[in-house]
Amino acid sequence: MIPSELGKAVFAIAAFVTLAALGLLPFLARNSAEFVVTVLAAVAGGLTILLLAVLVRLERH
């Protein structure tokens, strides 16, 4: 379905985005635009990892 190199690259990018966003959250004011954008980035990264995991699981079965 998806080449292993592509899957590894997507996972690495999504993990970086998610971890960077989660690392920034404690230092941002909750009522700022930066907080909202960072939360959206963390959600997008997490959803990408979840989607990739589902695709790999479906491919194995």
* 6: its two tokens: 């592509």
* 49: its two tokens: 């990892």
Query: What's the pTM?
Result: 0.89
Query: Which pLDDT band, with edges at 50, 70 and 90, does 60 fall under?
Result: confident
pLDDT tens for each residue of 15-33: 999 999 999 999 999 999 9
How far does CA 45 lie from the centroid of its chain? 1
So where are the chain's domains?
Answer: 4-60
Q: Give me the helices (H) in the chain, please.
A: 4-24, 33-60
If one compares 60 and 10, the residue with the highest pLDDT of the two is 10
